[in-house]
Each structure stands twice: as structure tokens, then as C-alpha cells.
Structure 1
Amino acid sequence: MKTCIAIRHVAFEDLGSFEQPLGDAGFAIQYREAGWDELDAVDPLSPDLMVVLGGPIGAYEDEAYPFIAHELALIEARLRSGKPIIGICLGAQLMARALGAKVYPNGGVKEIGWSALSLSEAGKSSSLAVLDGVPVLHWHGDTFDLPDGATLLASTPVTRNQAFCWGKAAVGLQFHVEATELGLERWFIGHANEISSVAGLSVPALRAETRRCASALEECGPEVLTRFLSDIVLG
């Protein structure tokens, strides 16, 4: 059986819609909890797939969260190995930083809610092609510079670097492709303070937007994963 190690930063930001297609593809999923499990004890070469998930902290907050140093070392070693890795939101920011790029606040703007991506030409021929015109979930206040050697796959008006690939087996997604309508109910609780701090944002408004948009993403999100696995001959 193939293995997938998912690094999780908060319990409710999990693999979401990715879990079923991973199981269908023969992957045994193992979560590693950042700040709790010893990430420096994880063998970067052992899993067939590594997924670094999102979270509410900054990829640059090393002083507040010392585990970041171990997580960066793990991600860097994984990237050097050429074995498959996917980063989502904070995970994409950590991948960018591990590749030498800067991560920083996105001009004081929080991009929270649903909107479609603008795919680059490379994005249109990548596993993200199925997302063309499909609203995806955005939930971030930070952004990153495009790492040297990376290819830009997608943008939004608020955030230019929404997705990149580095080689064939590494992809970073600033947006949340794995989000589900049911799963977001936990986000509305866990991120209550952040939601209330953004002018014009509310749980009822986000819930209504989620009801309109989530079903399309729940259909397309797993296809992104399936195509990625197929491209790297793991599916």
C-alpha cells in the first residue's frame, strides 16, 4: 500500500475532499501534527506522497513557533528528493520559503471567500485545468514571491502567486482546493475571531457563499489530485 503523510497545523484544516480519492488510489493516510509530533523525526523520503496543509500562522513566525525550522528542513529535503509534495495555503508558503522565496503579509489585505482563478498558459495544461472558471476557497492574509525555477500556474486580482509548480512533482496552492461545505462549518468556528476582524465579512455571508460554490469545487478538487498523481505515475 502507498503512503501519504499529511502535515496538519490545526485539526479542522485536514485533507478534506482529498481523503476519498487518496483512499481509492490505494494510499494509507498518516497525519503528523505540527507543534505536537516531532517533524524532524519524519523521514522525508519514506512516504509516496507528502501534503503540507494550511493553518492560521505565518510561515515566517519562527520565534513564536520553533517547529517551523524543523518543518522547513523536512520540506526542503522532500523537495530535493524529487518525490511528490503538495502544499496548500500555509503549506505552499512554507514550500516557497524552503525554495528560498520570501513570504510576507499581502499588503494588509485578507483574501477570504470564493472566487475563480486566472490560469496561466502553464496552468491550463496542468492538473489545475479542471478548475478553469470554478470558484475556489481563499483564506489567507500572506503571500510569497515566486521561487526561482518555479512556474506560475494561477493568479487572482488580489494575489498574483496563487499556484506554482517546481519541477514535475512539487506543486504549491495558495488557495484551498480541498475544502468542502461540511468541513467549512468547523472553519467558521475555529476562525471566528479572524472572520469578525475583517470588515464586511460574516459567518452567514460566508456560509451562503459556500452553499453556492462548494459543490463544484467538491467535484473538481479531487480531480486535481487525481490528475497530479497520474502525471507523476502514482495514480
Structure 2
Amino acid sequence: MKRALIVRHVPFEGIAGFREPVEAAGYELERIDVTDPEFSRTNFNTPDLLILMGGPMGVYEREEHPWIDCEIDRLASRISLGLPTLGVCLGAQMIAAAMGEQVHAGPIKEVGFAPVALHDTAAHSPLRHVADVPVLHWHGDTFPLPLGVELLASTDAYHHQAFRRGPEILALQFHAEMGQDPRFEQWLEGSDDYVAEAGLTIAELRAQHDRHGADAVAAGRAMIAEWLRGFNRSAA
């Protein structure tokens, strides 16, 4: 069986809704937290699929989180080999950093369920499944677009919402995995100020989650299922 390794930067930001299509594609899931003593010794080049999830820290907070440099170095090695890699939010920023770009604070906090605008490059890509679907945003950092990638999606606040390099590398700033995971309540705990910076209240965000969550997860699952089929075909 193929092996997929999930890197969790915090325990409550896991694979969530993406679990179903990844397992359906024949992958056995393994997880490792960055706080695990084994993390610094984990070989990123051995899994058939690497999935980097989100987290509240910034890529630039390297003194506070010494594992960041180690993660970026190993991720750069994997990307140089063209091995299948998915990054979500912080994971997408890690991919950009591993490709030589500087992650930095963005102009605003972007939080809440809203659609992304797809570029022409995305018309026949897996992202077509999330067209016009409100998906969860929860970030305040951004990055220049790495060389050699295709920009797939944007919002008014953040131009670089999704990019890919070939069929194997996919980076998503938004959280199309979230919408039906009870761990969302852990995201909300203590987040009143952060959410308020985006012009929302916790109650409004919870209502958006209840209204849009199921559709967001369905679209996200279809997107990931098609992405997995794409690079599996290219490797056949």
C-alpha cells in the first residue's frame, strides 16, 4: 500500500475532510507532529505523498519554532525531486519558502467562508471543483509566487491563494478540508481578537461554518481526488 505522511503543526489542524479521498486513492495514512522528538529525523523523501497542514505560527517565527528551518530544508529536497506534495495554509507557505520565497505578514487577516477566483490556468485543473464555492480562509501571511509555478486562484485580499508545479506539487492557502470537522471548535477557542481583525465575530463565523461547511468539504474532496488521479497517471 502507498504511504501518505501528514505533518501536523498543531494537533487540531489535521487532514480533516481530505482523509476520505486520500484513503480512497490507496494511501495508508501516517501522522507526525512537529513536537514529536522523531520529527527532526523524519525523512521527507520516503513517503509516496507528503501532506503539510496548517498552524497558527508564521514561517518567519524561526527562533520561537526551531523545527521550521529543519522542515523547510527537508521539504526543499523533496520538491527538488518532484515528489507528490500538498500544502495547506501554513503548509502552502512552507512550500513557497522551500522554493526560495520569503513569507511575510499580509495586509489583513482573511478569515471566513468565501469563494476564490480561479485563473485561466485553473479551468482544467482540480481547482475547478471549488469554483464559486465558499471555502474557509484563516490566515494573515503571504509570499511572492515561486518561479516555475502556475498561479491557480486569488482573492481580492490575497493574490496568491493557490499554485502548482506540474501535477505533483499543490499549495493551497485556503482550507477546503474544513467544514465538518468538530475540531473547528478548537480553532475558535481564544480566537476572538484574530477573528475580529477580519471583521467577524465568533458567532458569525460559526454560522458560516454551519451554512457552507458541507458544500466546502464536498468540493474539497473532489478537488483532492482529481489531483491524486492526475499525478498517479503521470507516474504510470
TM-score norm. by structure 2 comes to: 0.93
1:131-188: CA deviation from partner (whole Å, max 9, x where unpaired) = 1111111000101110011110000000000000022200110111111234322321
Residue 220 (structure 2) aligns with? 221
Q: Confirm or deny: 8 A CA contact 2:167 2:227 kept in the other structure.
A: no
Among all aligned residue pairs of Structure 1 and Structure 2, give the percentage whose two residues are the same amino acid. Answer: 36
Q: Aligned partners of 2:131 and 2:173: how far apart in 1?
A: 16
Q: Would you say 1:74 and 2:80 are equivalent positions?
A: no
> How far is the alpha carbon of 1:211 from its aligned partner?
1.3
Residue 24 (structure 1) aligns with? 24
In structure 2, relative to structure 1, the CA distance for the partners of 1:11 and 1:45 (3 Å cut) is same
Residue 64 (structure 1) aligns with? 64
- What amino acid sits opposite 1:180 in the alignment? G
Residue 137 (structure 1) aligns with? 136
Q: Confirm or deny: 8 A CA contact 1:39 1:74 kept in the other structure.
A: no
TM-score norm. by structure 1 comes to: 0.94
2:203 aligned counterpart, secondary structure = helix
The answer for unaligned runs of 5 or more in structure 2 is none
Moved over 4 A (4+): none
The answer for unaligned runs of 5 or more in structure 1 is none
Q: Aligned partners of 2:2 and 2:177: how far apart in 1?
A: 20
- What amino acid sits opposite 2:22 in the alignment? L
Residue 156 (structure 1) aligns with? 155
Q: Aligned partners of 2:37 and 2:71: how far apart in 1?
A: 11
State the superposition RMSD in angstroms: 1.7
2:10 aligned counterpart, secondary structure = coil
Q: Confirm or deny: 8 A CA contact 1:8 1:34 kept in the other structure.
A: yes
Q: Would you say 1:51 and 2:25 are equivalent positions?
A: no
2:174 aligned counterpart, secondary structure = coil
- What amino acid sits opposite 1:10 in the alignment? V
- What amino acid sits opposite 1:212 in the alignment? R
Residue 165 (structure 1) aligns with? 164
Q: Aligned partners of 2:169 and 2:122: how far apart in 1?
A: 14
> How far is the alpha carbon of 1:74 from its aligned partner?
1.6
